[in-house]
Chains A and B, each alone.
Chain A
Amino acid sequence: MTHTKDATNAPSRAGIRALVALVLTLAGPAVYMLLLDHPRMRASGAPAFGLMAAGAVLGLSAILYDRRWRVRLVGVFNVLFLGAFFYGFYWLMALPASGAVAAGTPAPDFALSDQDGRSISLAEYRDAGPVLLVFYRGHW
């Protein structure tokens, strides 16, 4: 990698570097979607953030060697993309604090229909053994 400015139309090594950076950045969210079934990956987003951070660093470093607007654009895009993902991950996805019933208190009883329309009450299950109640957001 040299600072000498040679012919400008051929894809420079820095241009290729910017391209690789872009691929890394876009691979971040894709990998995140693929790893959704892994609770820890899903909660931390580590692989996605890692890829996008590498993309941002590589993209910015490409600008040092090649100041053409295409390279600059990619460099800035990578950083903005990482920023947008970070913002979405930590702020848009934050849930409100809850007034959930505390451990050590009696569990409110209920009767609800299961997927076959049968009525299921907590009382009929809890005497036999532990019950784990899992509230989730829905099927969308």
Chain B
Amino acid sequence: MTCMAELRGLGEVHQALVDQGGTLLAVSVDSIADNKRVVEKNKLPFPILSDEEHRVISSYGVVHKGGAMDGSDIALPSMFLIDCHGNIIWRYVAKKVQSRLDPKVLLKLINPEET
């Protein structure tokens, strides 16, 4: 429930990326079926990818060991902005469960000229 709040706020950010030919990709360790429910319920304009085997959270170094309520590993809340050469040009890793970036910060990052 609570973790959906951050995804709902990212629609505008996704649009800004699409305007530049890019996209927003959300990733969690949930199943495809769970992600489908979340996308539909929150009417998300971007996809959620299912990293059930934890390969991608491992390769990006954002595994939160034992972070789930049931003690299993989940993703650390984090963001990576990747340019068209495939390089990470900016990243953010949350320090607290409840810390979230203001989408305005992201919009400014994506469109430095505007605002």
Contacts and interface: CB of A to CB of B under 8 A. Distances in A.
A103 B79 contact: no
A117 interface: yes
A140 B60 CA distance: 22
Given A131-B17, A132-B22, A126 B95 contact: no
Interface string A117-140: 100101101111111111111111
Interface residues of B, number: 79
A39 B50 CA distance: 25
Interface string A82-117: 000000011001111011111111111110111111
B24 A112 contact: no
B110 to A, nearest CB: 7
Interface residues of A, number: 51
Contacts, number: 229
A6 interface: no
A137 B68 CA distance: 8
Q: Is the interface of B mostly helix, strand, loop or mixed?
A: mixed
Interface stretch (A22-30, A40-48, A58-66, A69-77): A40-48
Q: Is the interface of A mostly helix, strand, loop or mixed?
A: loop
Contacts of B56: 108, 110, 112
A93 to B, nearest CB: 4
B37 A139 contact: yes
A120 to B, nearest CB: 6
Which 10 pairs show the lowest CB-CB distances between chains A and B? A129-B21, A129-B22, A112-B49, A114-B47, A130-B22, A135-B75, A115-B36, A115-B35, A108-B59, A99-B61
Interface of A: 36-37, 39-40, 42-43, 45, 89-90, 93-96, 98-110, 112-117, 120, 122-123, 125-140
